[in-house]
Amino acid sequence: MNDYIFPALRAPLKFYAVVPNEDWVYRMIEAGATTVQLRMKNADVATRKLAIRHCVEAVYNKPTQLFINDYWQEAIDEGAYGVHLGQEDLNDADLSALSRAGLRLGISTHSDDELQLALSVHPSYVACGAIFPTKTKVMPTQPQGLERLRHYVAMAGNTPTVAIGGIDLNNAQDVLACGVSSLAVVRAVTEAENPEAVVQQFLALWETYPVK
């Protein structure tokens, strides 16, 4: 697994919105989110291919960095910027094809072993979680907490780290203080009364914390 080369990020990830459809991607781009992940679940091939195409077109010449969750072949076909994979996807995805296509790669991790495995393929970033309890998905491990997060940041070294899981504006500063590069959120945006305002509040946090 050590021969893959994935490009460095174009810019720091900072605020990372994980959203369920293309309409949400459009909203996050317009709101100024630094990074957006399209995480569509249970979409047929034609539907997800078209959605990915539209999102790639929407982000063209925009500063937002767009990652596609899971659907790596469609991401390659549509010329996406990057792909995000879970641990369970690493054995199935064609990492060589992703590397040759020049896509950025992010990988989810939930333990020391998973983080070591992710780092062995030299990804563009690693995601660490869930930091706090979350209702977004069933997690394979207990919440990691801030002490474990600091440990993961140290393990990752120069590889950018994304904290995810139960993060909102009430705990975001504590998470950033652990030295992570980015905060990823789902419900903090999708369930907000004013998602665009929430994006701006998150982005303002990086005025206090150094960019990594």
Distances (CA, A) of 91 to 6, 86, 96: 17, 10, 12
Q: What is the pLDDT of residues 50-89, one digit of tens each?
A: 999 999 999 999 999 999 999 999 999 999 999 999 999 9
Q: Give the pLDDT band (50/70/90) at residue 209.
A: confident
Phi, psi of 81 (to 5 degrees): -70, -40
What pTM does this model have? Answer: 0.95
Fold for 14-207, please state it: TIM Barrel (3.20.20)
Joined together, the tokens standing for residue 15 give 């605020």
In this prediction, residue 139 carries a pLDDT of 60
Identity at 173, one-letter amino acid code: Q
In this prediction, residue 100 carries a pLDDT of 96
- Report CA Rg, the chain: 16
Residue 212, pLDDT > 70, answer no
- Average pLDDT taken over every residue of the chain: 94
In this prediction, residue 9 carries a pLDDT of 98
CA distance 13 to 21: 20
In this prediction, residue 138 carries a pLDDT of 62
Is residue 185 within 8 Å of residue 18, measured between CB atoms?
A: yes
When pLDDT is averaged across residues 101-120 and rounded to a whole number, the result is 97
In this prediction, residue 137 carries a pLDDT of 62
In this prediction, residue 51 carries a pLDDT of 98
In this prediction, residue 8 carries a pLDDT of 97
Q: Give the pLDDT band (50/70/90) at residue 135.
A: confident
In this prediction, residue 1 carries a pLDDT of 47
Phi, psi of 64 (to 5 degrees): -65, 135
Q: Where are the domains of the chain?
A: 14-207
Residue 140, pLDDT > 70, answer no
Q: Residue 139 in 3-state DSSP?
A: coil
In this prediction, residue 142 carries a pLDDT of 80
Residue 125, pLDDT > 90, answer yes
In this prediction, residue 157 carries a pLDDT of 97
157 vs 138 pLDDT, higher one:
157
